[in-house]
Amino acid sequence: MNARPPVRRPRLFVSNVVSRRPGARRFHDAVTMLSNSLVQSASGSWDVTWAFAEDDGSARTLDRARDADAIILMGGEDISPDLYGVAPGYPGEGPHWRRADLAQIALARFAVADGVPLLGVCRGLQILAVALGGNLVEDVDVPGHRSATFLDDHRLARHDVLVEASSMLARGIPRREGGAGGPDPGGRLRLRVHSAHHQAVADPGPHLVVSATAPDGTVEGVEHPAAPVLGVQWHPEDPEADPAGLRALLGLLREGREGAIGMSGAGRARPVLV
């Protein structure tokens, strides 16, 4: 009689930038608030590893992520500008954590190469683009993407995004008649999001496609056409956002992992994801 494979919960590797930010308490508190919210939401159905790329470096980050069923790259500081070919000194530039940048770039490339589902959130989307040959707008010059009071009140900006109906991302949008997820006249799906960013993707590079934009043209979503890898510029983990949005994106990660398992070699005993 063949033994049934062990049943386990899927493993989610959540990569943050750094565990401590001396001299930047308000920013650290805001980033931690968002990470806490995501981990709390995911922990109901995932075993979550909460990691810090600056602390761990590239080798340890990759080693810790190798048995993950899915990966999330969280928000944080700007990426070191030389990594996408521009000079420092742009408007709004803050501190950089280069060790974290390199570790998360390596993590994004690993996910694409191995077919591990990955979601990039805000900076995480930008990491994904830079990792795969894209570049960034150093300072977004259109209003509405960030709140001047965010570090004080943790209230993010609100704006619409338009999602391509044929995209992987579109499958992760809760549909409501006359509301979020409803189509615009061009057939794209309209979604109200919460955001806090002063940079964005300028060119996603040769390996990603744009899946969502703001009405002003700012890139808000990218995805890989041949791997379960995507990024969103907004913060679905914001505690004030509709929790159905984050649940749906976590569902996409699970769907991607189950698809990857289904394409794996036959005859190998694999744990069942519950």
The ranges assigned to domains in the chain are 9-141+199-273
How open is the CA angle 270-273-274, to the nearest 5 degrees? 145
* DSSP 3-state of 91: coil
The yes-or-no verdict on residue 94 having pLDDT over 80 is yes
Residues 191-227 have pLDDT tens digits of: 999 999 999 999 999 999 999 999 999 999 999 999 9
- Mean residue pLDDT across the chain: 90
Catalytic residue among 77, 138, 164, 237: 237
Q: How confident is the model at residue 181 (pLDDT cuts 50, 70, 90)?
A: low
Copy the structure tokens of residue 54.
Answer: 């600056």
Interatomic CA distance for residues 116 and 40, integer angstroms: 22
- CATH homologous superfamily for 9-141+199-273? Class I glutamine amidotransferase (GATase) domain (3.40.50.880)
Annotated catalytic residue 207: no
Annotated catalytic residue 235: yes
* DSSP 3-state of 197: coil
* DSSP 3-state of 224: coil
Residues 59-87 have pLDDT tens digits of: 999 999 999 999 999 999 999 999 999 99
Annotated catalytic residue 164: no
The yes-or-no verdict on residue 241 having pLDDT over 70 is yes
The yes-or-no verdict on residue 1 having pLDDT over 60 is no
Residue 259 has what pLDDT? 78
Residue 8 has what pLDDT? 81
Higher pLDDT, 58 or 272: 58
The yes-or-no verdict on residue 164 having pLDDT over 90 is yes
The yes-or-no verdict on residue 177 having pLDDT over 50 is no
Cα 157 to chain centroid, rounded: 18
Contact 99, 117 (CB under 8 A): no
Catalytic residue among 28, 77, 122, 138: 122
The yes-or-no verdict on residue 140 having pLDDT over 90 is yes
Looking at the DSSP assignment, which residues form a beta bridge with residue 8? 273
Copy the structure tokens of residue 11.
Answer: 């493993």
Residue 173 has what pLDDT? 82
DSSP character for 82?
G
The yes-or-no verdict on residue 265 having pLDDT over 90 is no
Residue 269 has what pLDDT? 32
